Chain A
Amino acid sequence: MNGIHDMGGMDGFGAVEPEEHEPVFHARWEGAVLAATRVMGAIGGWNIDQGRYGIELLPPNLYLTPYYRRWLERLEWGLVTYGYAGADEIAAGRALCPGKAPPRGRFTVDKVDRVTRRGTFTRETNSTAKFAIGDRVRARNLHPKGHTRLPRYVRGHAGVIERLHGCQVFPDSAAMGQGENPQWLYTVRFDGRELWGADADPTLAVSVEAFEPYLEALT
């Protein structure tokens, strides 16, 4: 979806403001939201792509709030959407009926190491990659209403395949509950002037990771 989350190249957000000696969390509730969100992922409540899509579905005025506020909105949304709590329970602030059996079981302290590692998204395949390193490609001009990881700022632009990352879970399918549908994943490099025009920084090159369905061959 062409949402507010797709921010590459937008103007108007002001300066970047690094914070000296920044704490990991600025308030206890931030850590609590992160922990609860990790728990729901670990027990199989929803997958990472469904989680990202949940944030993208927030109305822009809610999206443009502090980071863990968005996570809080997404957590409530996920609990209700995927059947782990009722809206009435969230309103009441307590459970009103027993929980749903989580696909991967209850989350206990011995599983903490597992959630502090990133997941595994590479999948075995019998298919052959359509593109090779050095091939010239164009990012397709796609505007799906659902979740996608092809940012707007590269759509329609020409680039070069730089790396091949194997076959991986396709977010566009996984986020929509349509299965993993693994696709070949590439790093595609774009010249800054191709993306931003003749006045762009001539020393700039930008790459994105692009799944094969996002790309077409350039001859």
Chain B
Amino acid sequence: MTTSEHPHGHDHGESSELSETELRVRALQTILIDKGYTDAAALDAIVEAYEQKIGPHIGARVVARAWTDPAFRQALLADATAAVSPFGQGGRVGENLVAVENTPERHNMVVCTLCSCYPWDVLGLPPVWYKSFAYRSRTVKEPRSVLREFGVTLPERTEIRVWDSTAEVRYLVLPMRPAGTDGWSEEKLATLVTRDSMVGTGLPRSPEPRS
């Protein structure tokens, strides 16, 4: 069944299992379609785009390129929208994208305390934890305890810089390249880049030790 199938079909066996929430959503889909604002195919195509086309693989390719190409890294830090656009869906990403670089001295974390602002054209839709009240409330005040819940412990002296996305500027964290990856291709490096490492709640994966 598609997400936007009309509820007009009288399948009582199935309908009785639908929750109140599901029934409300189906009703709204019906209203939008019946009033001519859109059609079922367009609604389904939006869901499909977020499930299949847009996701952290876009950001991972950007990070891997920055790790292997110093000129691209400079361009990314200078104007991330321009640098990232060729990697984006349809060859474009939104304006005011800013890349912030982790260094041994400074670790960056991104949050939206007021809602759920997130660079979704580069990382896809935000995970539940990013939208959670715990993450939104605590990250600007006690980022180290939040990081511990992600299994990340940073040196005591590392500066923690938290970027609260309160307007239409969006942040992409450029994590540090893991040791032991000399000579790796961009494609192989991208497999180490996790979504969380580009939000600042994680670090890139370590390369598998050679057997």
Residues 112-160 (chain B) with a chain A CB within 8 angstroms: 113-116, 120-121, 124-125, 127-129, 131-138, 140-144, 146, 149-150, 156-160
B 14-62 contacts with A by CB, 8 A: 21-32, 34-39, 41-47, 49-51, 53-55
Chain B contacts of A67 at CB under 8 A?
116, 128, 131
Q: Which residue of B lies closest to A8 (CB)?
A: B113
Cβ of A64: which chain B residues have Cβ within 8 Å of it? Answer: 133
Tell me if B164 and A29 are in contact (CB < 8 A): no
Q: CB distance B168 to A204 under 8 Å? A: no
| B94 lies within 8 A of A118 (CB) | yes
Is A209's CB under 8 angstroms from B142's CB?
no
Interface string of A16-33 (1 = CB under 8 A from B): 111100101111110111
Residue contact B51 to A25, C-beta cutoff 8 Å = yes
**Roughly how many angstroms separate A122 CA and B169 CA in the complex, as a whole number?**
10
Q: Per a CB cutoff under 8 Å, which of A15, A16, A75, A169 touches B28? A: A75
Note all chain A residues with C-beta closer than 8 A to B35.
84-85, 95, 98-100
> Is the pair A16, B160 in contact by a Cβ cutoff of 8 Å?
no
Judging by beta carbons under 8 Å apart, are A34 and B156 in contact? no
A17-B132, A18-B149, A117-B121 known; A171 vs B47 contact (CB < 8 Å):
no
The answer to the question of A145 belonging to the interface, with a C-beta cut-off of 8 Å to chain B, is no
The CA-CA distance from A196 to B201 in the complex, in Å, is 21
Question: Is A165 an interface residue, CB under 8 A from the partner?
Answer: yes
Minimum CB distance partner of B115 in chain A: A52
Q: If A32-B25, A55-B115 touch, does A201 touch B143 (CB 8 Å cutoff)?
A: yes
Closest-by-CB residue of A relative to B23 is A93
In the complex, A180 has a CB within 8 A of chain B:
no
Q: Enumerate chain B residues within 8 angstroms of A16, measured Cβ to Cβ.
A: 129, 132, 134-135, 138, 146, 149-150
* B89 contacts partner chain A, Cβ-Cβ < 8 Å: yes
Residues from chain B with a CB closer than 8 A to the CB of A115 are 46
Q: Which residues of A contact B132 (CB under 8 A)?
A: 13, 16-17
- Cβ B31 vs Cβ A6 within 8 A: no
Contact B95 A113 (CB under 8 A): no
B162 closest partner in A (C-beta): A206
Contact with B along A29-69 (1 / 0, CB 8 A): 10111111011100101000000100100000000100101
Complex CA distance for A24 and B121, rounded to whole angstroms: 14
Q: Provide the residues of chain B in CB contact with A36, threshold 8 Å.
A: 25, 28-29, 32, 43
The answer to whether B51 touches A72 (Cβ under 8 A) is no
A89 contacts across to B, CB distance below 8 A: 31
B144 to chain A, nearest CB (A): 6
Instruction: Choose from B128, B135, B138, B150 the contact partner of A22 (Cβ within 8 Å).
Output: B128
Q: Which residues of A contact B95 (CB under 8 A)?
A: 118, 120-122
Asked, given contacts A39-B43, A79-B31, A90-B28, whether A117 binds B37 with beta carbons under 8 Å apart, the answer is: no
B90 interface residue (CB < 8 Å to A): yes
- Which chain A residues border B44 with CB–CB below 8 Å? 35
List chain B residues, Cβ under 8 A from A11. Answer: 137-138
Chain A CB within 10 A, most for which of B26, B28, B146, B161: B28
Query: Taking each of B22, B36, B131, B143, which has the highest tally of chain A beta carbons within 10 Å of its own beta carbon?
Result: B36
B103: CB under 8 A from chain A? Answer: no
Q: Please give, as numbers and ranges, the residues of chain A lying within 8 Å of B96 by CB-CB distance.
A: 121-122, 165
Residue of A nearest to B7 (CB): A93
Q: Is the CB of A116 within 8 A of B31?
A: no
Whether B30 contacts A95 by the Cβ 8 Å rule is: yes
Residue pairs across A and B with Cβ atoms less than 8 A apart, 18 shown, are: A16-B129, A18-B201, A28-B22, A31-B47, A39-B37, A76-B28, A84-B35, A93-B26, A95-B30, A113-B90, A116-B46, A116-B89, A118-B93, A151-B113, A195-B140, A206-B140, A206-B164, A211-B167
Among all A-B residue pairs, the 4 with the closest Cβ atoms = A118-B94, A99-B35, A93-B27, A8-B113
